[in-house]
Amino acid sequence: MPMIDADGCLINVTVEGRDGGPTLMLSNSLGCTLQMWEPQMRAFTQVFRVIRYDRRGHGRSSVPHGPYSVERFGRDALAILDDLNIEKVHWCGLSMGGMVGQWLGANAPERLGKLVLANTTCYFPDRTMWDNRIKAVNEGGLAAVADTVIASWLSQDFRDRNPIVAGQTKAMLLATPVDGYLASCEALRTLDLREALPKIKSPTLVIAGRFDKSTPITMAEAIRSQIPGASMTILDAAHISNIEATLAFNDAVLGFLTQR
């Protein structure tokens, strides 16, 4: 696992899959590590060279002082590509990873092939949720919000049927460094990418979860409607749709990325 220096922050990166073929970069949700993509790796690495990484403040990457920003996250991704001497990638980002993808699509279009924006938004009209989240984590750590977050990430039906997966996902959240989590929450609190969307020229697929309360279908439709030529698909899942609806997610992403 190479550690790549991005403006003084060491970023944990993995590269797996086919050599010489197209490259796909995966970008995680808030409170997740690159392990969130394990359900995709067998399918994706048969077609692509796959880059995964831990965002600054998460996983095995370092935790520099905040504030963080979506632009900073985007520049971290570009630093990874520069270090690996990779000119262009397809991008698949979920939640915060989708926000970073929007920034890249508008500000570094020459580095992207196709763009998948899953379970994400371009704007939070009400910052109260983030204010409350930041206050709770400051006072009680991630344990204070873990049950609420997991309930929004995975539907009750999925958690009942897959308690081990739900437990592993919760453990991933709880292992996130508190300082990195809080600095990332501050970045989301002020998120506004609405003016960036019409600048995105990459072929784009927006994925929404039918039961997603964190970034509901209305938010996905707002993104789709503002990116020229974008399409949208809806999966029977809550927020972390790549885990809850693995086969449908894989089919949607691979179908989109491999179509000519």
Residue 7 has pLDDT above 90, yes or no: no
pLDDT of residue 6: 79
Q: For the chain, what is the mean pLDDT?
A: 96
Give residue-wise pLDDT tens across range 98-109.
999 999 999 999
How does pLDDT run across 58-84, given as a tens digit for each residue? Answer: 999 999 998 899 999 999 999 999 999
- For each of the domains in the chain, give its residue range(s) and CATH number, in order of start: 3-258 (3.40.50.1820)
Q: Which two tokens stand for residue 104?
A: 């890249």
**pTM, full prediction:** 0.97
Q: Which residue has the tokens 């030529």?
A: 229
Phi/psi zone of residue 145: left (φ > 0), alpha (ψ -120 to 50 degrees), beta?
alpha
pLDDT band at 5 (very low <50, low <70, confident <90, very high): confident
Tokens 């922050």 -> residue:
9
**pLDDT recorded at residue 260:** 82
Whether residue 1 is predicted with pLDDT greater than 80 in this model: the reply is no
Q: What is the pLDDT of residue 109?
A: 97
Average pLDDT over residues 109-138: 96
Question: How far is 97 from 118, CA to CA, in rounded Å?
Answer: 8
